[in-house]
Amino acid sequence: MDLLQMKYFMTVARLEHMTKAAEVLNISQPSLSIMIARLEERVGVPLFDRHGRKIRLNQFGKVYAEHVEQIFQVLEQGESIVRDMAGLNKGCISLAVSITNVIPELLGKFLRQYPDVQFRQVFEPTPVVKKMLENGEIDLCIASGEFDSPNLEWQPLITEEIYLVVPENHHLVGQETVPLALLKDEHFLNVRQGFWLRSFMDEQCLQAGFTPKVIFEVDEPDAIVSLIRQGIGLCFIPQTSWEMRSHLIPNKIKITNPECLITRSIAWSRKHYLSQAAQRFREFAIDYFNELQQQHNISGRSIGR
């Protein structure tokens, strides 16, 4: 087994261009061509279809690439395990989130206790995050909903209510409750398609007999707060998010028929090694959400270990 050959092979497979791959690998194009030819000779079949300067994986190459990728993932996991055992890795955690309001406080508390740990934060729609978890591209995800993939494990953190928030001059200000069906003519602010809260509330509205009129989509949920304060539209917001912003957007209304509840969960891959730092953070997050439930008197339920 020649790891250098496999590295070169994966680079060519990714770029689909021999000259570009040679530039990335900092070797001559003839040397790279010879290396790929030797690999194909060793495997016993051609791995690429060649069309002029373009080069693409054939059916044999695609299967081989899948297994090579697994080899590199296993090697990377082995290095992580050894670093953990030797205490050489102070810890770098890659974390995907959809709950931006509580993350700064959660990370701040964790880093005060574990100051040598580093974080890389990812903010993507739920389907993208699930794929990243399955591929081992990130360690953990804190998001809404369930992670039903057989390759993932997940732990519910807290279940909370979703409120309707309206601007100061809205005709619903002062009402304590509102049936969801009565909102069919309202204008909404929301995150873009793909995020779990958007998908969940779109489905709830459909069951209530209407499609919500979304007049403004954002990538970052915090941007909605500013738009609400400008009187531009209404939004759906989880209880913890509203509790931490109630001084900015005080006019929340309980939704009835149906009551809308959302579950926050933390998820990780079954197949990929989870570092000691990531394991510590996972347990820390579970404890944090238990405390959050008590502090903010969440109307849902907190689920511990």
Over residues 174-199, the mean pLDDT reads: 90
pTM above threshold 0.75: no
Residue 87 has pLDDT above 60, yes or no: no
- The reported pLDDT for the residue numbered 11 is 92
Q: Indicate the DSSP class of residue 113.
A: H
CB 219 within 8 A of CB 208: no
d(CA 36, CA 57): 12
Residue 124: pLDDT band (50, 70, 90) is confident
Torsion from C-alpha of 30, 35, 38, 40, nearest 10 degrees: -100
- The reported pLDDT for the residue numbered 259 is 85
- The reported pLDDT for the residue numbered 108 is 93
Residue 295 has pLDDT above 50, yes or no: yes
| Spatial CA neighbour of 188 closest among 173, 177, 202 | 202
93 strand-pairing partners = 119
Torsion from C-alpha of 247, 164, 243, 266, nearest 10 degrees: -140
d(CA 59, CA 52): 19
Over residues 165-182, the mean pLDDT reads: 94
CB 169 within 8 A of CB 231: yes
Residue 88 has pLDDT above 50, yes or no: no
CB 253 within 8 A of CB 176: yes
**Which H or E run contains 61?**
helix 59-86
Map tokens 């055992």 to a residue. Answer: 85
Determine whether 73 is exposed, middle or buried from the number of CB atoms within 10 Å of its CB (0-12, 13-18, 19+): middle
- The reported pLDDT for the residue numbered 254 is 95
pLDDT: which is higher, 126 or 300: 126
Map tokens 């194009």 to a residue. Answer: 29
Q: Which amino acid does the sequence have at 226? A: S
d(CA 133, CA 148): 12
- Write down the mean pLDDT value for the chain: 87
Residue 64 has pLDDT above 90, yes or no: yes
Segment 131-164, tens digit of pLDDT = 899 988 999 999 887 788 899 999 999 888 999 9
Sorted by where each starts, the structural domains of the chain and their CATH numbers stand as 3-85 (1.10.10.10), 87-157+263-296 (3.40.190.10), 160-262 (3.40.190.290)
Segment 193-217, tens digit of pLDDT = 877 788 889 999 999 999 999 999 9
d(CA 143, CA 266): 7
Q: What percent of the chain has pLDDT over 90?
A: 46
Residue 299 has pLDDT above 60, yes or no: no
Residue 300: pLDDT band (50, 70, 90) is very low
Map tokens 């405390």 to a residue. Answer: 291
